[in-house]
């Protein structure tokens, strides 16, 4: 059902890379998506449906405004879709057949490994972000504004509104940076190696510290791509999520001294 998981004793050596690999990773991600679009679309479906359901729930309650913290926090949840997409890219680069049963078998097999622990870290950070976003709004705008925002959204641009947006953006950026640092190498490492999630996080943070400029640019591209994908009722995620997911696998390869790009 695929290559055996590699032992932690042979963890890859991290590389110092430059910004040119971003273009190469995106190109490889697009090629992988074109090679196996059905997999990417299927793994993205849960996020598109989730976004639509959330919108309908908030709209029915007349509280569409509160969808914003979830939208802004979406990049925190995107890594959940990554494992299946990573496995597809891994199979393409090693010439293994793309069989649904085998790809899904690898995904479901992660329940007995360290991916669930990493998933818990991601989920807790997302939930804490939503709490902090609401708290920040209340601290700057007052508790009464929480009930007025849905009928008078212009309040966000009055009084402390602009400052609240600035502070909230900085805090959200901090959450996104932390989680990106944890997962950019951590998630694919957990798929490929038999290693605990703490070691994966430490290795991933080390990669970011080694390549701060390149990886911060890469993280910004991921966030921008996901936000653009959410604009047309989340439908753009059918393209953005798989392309960025495949590209993230290739970025991991560049970072770990294993350039496996194939034409």
What SS3 state is found at 138?
A: helix
Contacts of 143 (CB under 8 A, 6+ apart): none
User: CA 91 to CA 107: how far, in whole Å?
Assistant: 13
pLDDT digits (tens, 9 = 90+) for 19-66: 999 999 999 999 999 999 999 999 888 888 877 887 787 777 666 666
Q: Which residues pair with 193 in a beta bridge?
A: 6
Q: How many CA atoms lie within 13 A of 91 on its CB side?
A: 22
Claim: this prediction has a pTM higher than 0.95: no
Q: How far apart are the C-alpha atoms of 2 and 122, rounded to whole Å?
A: 26
Per-residue pLDDT in tens (0 to 9) along the chain, 263 residues = 555 467 665 788 899 999 999 999 999 999 999 999 999 999 888 888 877 887 787 777 666 666 666 666 666 666 667 889 999 999 999 999 999 999 999 988 888 889 889 988 888 888 888 888 878 877 877 665 555 555 555 566 667 778 888 888 888 888 889 999 999 999 999 999 999 999 999 999 999 999 999 999 999 999 899 888 887 778 898 999 999 999 999 999 999 975 544 33
- Closest of 91, 97, 255 to residue 187, by C-alpha: 255
What residues pair up with 6 in beta bridges, in sequence order?
A: 193
Contacts 24+ apart (CB under 8 A), 92-98: 92/32, 92/35, 92/36, 92/262, 93/253, 93/260, 93/261, 93/262, 94/3, 94/260, 96/2, 96/3, 98/36, 98/39
What angle (nearest 5°) sits at the alpha carbon of residue 109, between those of residues 27 and 201?
60
CA 64 centroid distance within chain: 23
Q: Is the dihedral of CA 189, 238, 213, 76 positive or negative?
A: negative
Distance linking the first and last C-alpha atoms of the chain: 24
Query: With the CA atoms of 173, 206, 83 and 169 taken in that order, what torsion angle do they form, in degrees rounded to the nearest 10?
Result: 0
CA-CA-CA-CA dihedral for 29, 179, 66, 50, to nearest 10: 40
Half-sphere CA count of 180, side-chain side, radius 13 A? 25
* Calpha distance 205→88 (Å, rounded): 25
Query: How many C-beta neighbours within 10 Å does residue 163 have?
Result: 11
């Amino acid at each position: 059902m695929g290559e055996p998981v590699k032992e932690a004793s042979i963890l890859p050596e991290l590389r110092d890379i430059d910004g040119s690999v971003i273009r190469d990773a995106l190109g490889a991600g697009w090629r992988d998506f074109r090679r196996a679009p059905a997999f990417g679309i299927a793994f993205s479906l849960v996020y598109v449906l989730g976004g639509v359901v959330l919108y309908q729930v908030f709209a029915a309650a007349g509280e569409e405004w509160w969808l914003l913290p979830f939208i802004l926090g979406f990049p925190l949840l995107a890594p959940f879709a990554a494992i299946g997409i990573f496995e597809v890219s891994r199979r393409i680069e090693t010439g293994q057949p793309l069989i649904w049963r085998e790809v899904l078998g690898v995904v479901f097999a992660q329940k007995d490994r360290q991916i669930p622990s990493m998933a818990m870290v991601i989920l807790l950070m997302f939930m804490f972000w939503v709490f902090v976003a609401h708290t920040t709004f209340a601290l700057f705008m007052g508790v009464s504004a929480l009930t007025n925002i849905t009928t008078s959204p212009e309040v966000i641009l009055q009084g402390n509104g602009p400052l609240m947006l600035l502070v909230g953006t900085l805090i959200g950026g901090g959450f996104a940076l932390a989680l990106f640092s944890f997962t950019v190498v951590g998630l694919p490492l957990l798929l490929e190696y038999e290693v605990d999630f703490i070691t994966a996080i430490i290795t991933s943070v080390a990669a970011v510290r080694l390549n701060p400029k390149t990886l911060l640019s890469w993280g910004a591209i991921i966030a921008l791509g996901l936000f653009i994908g959410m604009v047309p009722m989340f439908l753009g995620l059918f393209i953005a999520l798989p392309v960025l997911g495949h590209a993230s696998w290739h970025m991991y390869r560049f970072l770990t001294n294993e350039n496996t790009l194939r034409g």
